[in-house]
Amino acid sequence: MSAMMKQKSNKLKMVLRALLVIIGAFITAYGLDSVLIPNNVSDGGVTGLSIVGSKLIGLPLGLLIAVLNIPFVFLGYKQIGTSFAIYSIIGIASLSIGTTVMHHVPTIIQGDTLLITVVGGIIIGFGMGLALRNGGALDGIDMLAVLLSRKLPFGTSDLILFLNMFVFIVVSTVFGLQGAILSAIAYYIASKVIHIVEEGLSGSKTFKIITNQPELMVERIREQLGRGATYKLVEGGYSNQTFKEINCVVNRLEESKMKEIINEIDTNSFVIVYDVAEVKGGTFKKHDIH
């Protein structure tokens, strides 16, 4: 009976997460259609390229968002896992539908460029952060940056910045230099709001885990995340017992999955999570998990 209750609880959590990803996508769509796009301000990433493409060739924005994100969803599936890909598909599909449905919503701000970038950045940042907090991504450029960071001697954050510089150069061809600058400011504000909604979303995270099942934990991390881990013997100051402390570094998109693995194996495990500014070196290379 307890197993059945646990299964129902897991299904309910999955439905709730999917619902929050959808809500986040619609909030993002509202920010785009009611604030940024009517004032000739774009977003970064694949969404920004989709906005430019829609202006140039006249195709619906929702269609371009869906099509251009397909290869990045595949990257997410290969590098992070099935659940991340599913939630991302739900989020991107909802964003596509949202931009189509809200295409004719009234513009809530006009004229004041500072207010446009601040309000627009806050709205789309909150929407994207809500989706990412619940395991789904609304834009594929972050997934590309994570993949490139394993092939190039640059951090994920540096690559996200570089890729978006290219996007804003493209944006300038349609919205002009002022539009590109405002777009970059709005994107910066959105990224800060994302950090608030989903703490520590940029860069990598180190997990220090003390559990009574260290071998199983490490095996599950390797199987489901394709990540390696190290052990360190530690001694309890009160009990004087010796424990194996697990140390594992994951990227920002893998954090929610890591927490799921820990909770599934040992809900009473002792976990410390902290930000890592940069990760270099090491002999272990992350492998595809499919």
Helix (H) or strand (E) holding 115: helix 113-133
Query: Comparing C-alpha atoms, which of 139, 91, 124, 83 is closest to residue 254?
Result: 83
Cα 64-74-144 angle, rounded to 5 deg: 80
Whether 35 and 119 have beta carbons less than 8 Å apart is answered as: yes
pTM score, two decimals? 0.70
Query: Comparing C-alpha atoms, which of 104, 120, 139, 96 is closest to residue 40?
Result: 120
> What's the pLDDT score for residue 201?
45
Strands (E), the chain: 204-210, 230-235, 242-251, 270-276
Task: Output 46-51 pairs: Cβ under 8 A, ≥24 positions apart.
Answer: 46/72, 46/139, 46/140, 46/141, 47/95, 47/138, 47/139, 48/164, 48/167, 48/168, 48/170, 48/171, 48/183, 48/187, 49/167, 49/170, 51/171
Q: How far apart are the first and last CA of the chain?
A: 32
Cα 110-114-119 angle, rounded to 5 deg: 70
pLDDT tens profile 2-43: 677 777 778 888 899 999 999 999 999 999 999 999 998 988
243 pairs with which residues across the strands? 234
Whether 252 and 203 have beta carbons less than 8 Å apart is answered as: yes
Strands (E), 151-266: 204-210, 230-235, 242-251
Residues (pLDDT < 70) of the chain are 1-2, 146, 150, 155-157, 198-203, 277-278, 280-290
Q: 273: which residues sit within 8 A by CB, 6+ positions away?
A: 200, 205, 206, 207, 208, 255
> What's the pLDDT score for residue 157?
62
Domains of the chain: 2-197 (no CATH), 204-276 (3.30.70.120)
230 pairs with which residues across the strands? 247
Helices 2-31 and 113-133 meet at what angle, rounded to 10? 160
